[in-house]
Amino acid sequence: MDGDGRLVGEGDAEAQVRQVYANLATALKAASCTLDNVVKLTVYLTDLADLPAFCRVRDEHQDARRPPACSLVQVAGLVQPGFRVEIGFRVEIEALAVRPAPAESNDR
63-100 pLDDT, tens digit each: 888 888 888 889 877 554 444 444 334 456 677 788 88
What are the structural domains, with CATH classification, of the chain? 13-97 (3.30.1330.40)
* Summary mean pLDDT of the chain: 79
Confidence of residue 108 (pLDDT cuts 50, 70, 90): low
DSSP one-letter code for 23: H
pTM of the model: 0.76
Closest CA to 72 of 90, 94, 57, 87: 94
